[in-house]
C-alpha cells in the first residue's frame, strides 16, 4: 500500500490485532478501509459451546477481548462497515460433527438464536 498507494479494503476483521493494524494504517494516512461481520460483533469463542457446528465460522470466533476491541473500533470509526456475511448453507452441512461442518457464516440467524 505504501509503495503503490492502492486503496485496500480488508474484509471481516476478527481480532484485536487486526484492529490495531488498521488503526495504525489509518493514522499514517494510508487508504485503507475495513468491515466486520455481525457474528464477530456479537459472538465469542464461548458461543461454540460443545462444538456446535453452526458456530464453525470463517473467520473463527475469537475471545471476549477481541470482540471488545471490535466493538470499540466500530464505535470510534476505525471499522468502516458492518456486514451480515450471510452465505446460504445446506442444513445437512451444518448438522455434521464440528470438525466436518462447512466453515461458513450462518448469518444473523445464529446470532438471534444465541441471545
Q: Which residues carry out catalysis?
A: 85
What's the alpha-carbon Rg for the chain, to the nearest Å?
15
Angle between helices 64-76 and 16-27 (to 10 degrees): 30
Calculate the alpha carbon distances from 95 to 27, 40, 52, 61, 65 in Å.
44, 22, 9, 19, 29
8: β partners: 32
Amino acid at each position: 500500500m505504501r509503495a503503490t498507494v492502492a486503496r485496500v479494503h480488508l474484509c471481516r476483521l476478527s481480532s484485536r490485532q487486526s484492529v490495531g493494524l488498521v488503526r495504525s494504517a489509518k493514522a499514517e494516512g494510508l487508504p485503507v478501509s475495513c468491515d466486520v461481520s455481525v457474528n464477530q460483533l456479537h459472538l465469542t469463542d464461548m458461543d461454540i459451546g460443545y462444538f456446535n457446528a453452526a458456530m464453525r465460522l470463517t473467520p473463527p470466533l475469537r475471545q471476549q477481548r477481541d470482540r471488545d476491541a471490535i466493538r470499540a473500533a466500530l464505535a470510534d470509526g476505525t471499522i468502516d462497515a458492518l456486514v451480515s456475511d450471510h452465505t446460504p448453507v445446506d442444513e445437512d452441512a451444518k448438522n455434521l460433527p464440528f470438525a466436518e461442518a462447512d466453515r461458513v457464516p450462518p448469518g444473523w440467524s445464529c446470532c438471534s438464536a444465541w441471545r
